[in-house]
């Protein structure tokens, strides 16, 4: 039974890597990885004939992401419950940082369209942080599943 759980967790980490990778590629394709592209994506661009994003449009994307990101971070991080105090503290900090990064990544869009251009930088930083910490957590879970929980 124990080995079956480890096997399921191993595949879960593979899916996690693919999910993070596809998310990053989608971000690159749809929005872009520079300040100017993010600005144009949310506020529109006359030269490129793109319209600014509406609250409703952002909400359609934000709603599933709020639910999904919260769930995935909790599920991935909860596997580290079985460990010593220092290790648990370390992964607690990673999980908290991930929750914050996810929150700002999703919510920045709303602030950008309201006129707070500073959130373009917050969006980019929180996205990179989310990807980096997400990959780190998935990699550590992969190592854990390989060594055995």
Partner 1 sequence: MKFTLVKDVTKDTLLRPLLSGLLLFILLFLTANIFLKAQQIGLTQETISHTLFGDEENFIAPITNTFLLELIHNDLFFMMMTLLTLSAVYSRLCNKVKVRFVAINLVMISALFSLLFLILAFYFSANFILPYIVAFFLWHTMAYFMALASLLHLYTPKLSH
Minimum CB separation of residue 14 from partner 1 in Å reads 7
Minimum CB separation of residue 13 from partner 1 in Å reads 10
Give the nearer residue to partner 1 in terms of CB position, either 12 or 117. 12
Give the nearer residue to partner 1 in terms of CB position, either 51 or 75. 75
Give the nearer residue to partner 1 in terms of CB position, either 31 or 111. 31
Give the nearer residue to partner 1 in terms of CB position, either 14 or 59. 14
Minimum CB separation of residue 122 from partner 1 in Å reads 23
- Reduce the DSSP state of residue 8 to 3 states and report it: helix
CA distance 26 to 76: 22
Give the nearer residue to partner 1 in terms of CB position, either 61 or 92. 61
Q: Which residues bind partner 1 (CB under 8 A)?
A: 1, 3-5, 7-9, 11-12, 14-16, 18-19, 22-23, 25-26, 29-30, 68, 71-72, 75
Minimum CB separation of residue 73 from partner 1 in Å reads 12
Minimum CB separation of residue 88 from partner 1 in Å reads 17
- Reduce the DSSP state of residue 51 to 3 states and report it: coil
**Do the beta carbons of residue 44 and residue 51 sit within 8 Å?**
yes
Find the angle CA(91)-CA(104)-CA(71) to the nearest 5 degrees.
50
Q: Which whole-number Å values give the CA distances from 66 to 34, 73, 107, 133, 140, in the listed order?
A: 24, 11, 9, 17, 24
Find the angle CA(130)-CA(135)-CA(136) to the nearest 5 degrees.
100
């Amino acid at each position: 039974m124990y080995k079956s759980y480890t096997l399921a967790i191993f595949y879960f980490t593979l899916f996690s890597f693919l999910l993070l990778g596809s998310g990053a590629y989608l971000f690159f394709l749809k929005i872009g990885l520079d300040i100017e592209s993010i600005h144009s994506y949310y506020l529109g661009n006359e030269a490129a004939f793109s319209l600014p994003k509406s609250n409703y449009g952002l909400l359609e994307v934000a709603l599933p992401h709020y639910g999904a990101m919260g769930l995935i971070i909790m599920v991935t991080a909860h596997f580290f419950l079985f460990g010593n105090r220092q290790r648990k503290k370390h992964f607690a900090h990673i999980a908290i940082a991930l929750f914050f990064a996810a929150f700002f990544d999703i919510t920045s869009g709303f602030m950008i369209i309201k006129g707070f251009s500073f959130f373009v930088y917050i969006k980019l930083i929180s996205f990179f942080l989310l990807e980096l910490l997400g990959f780190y957590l998935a990699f550590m879970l992969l190592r854990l599943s390989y060594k055995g929980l």
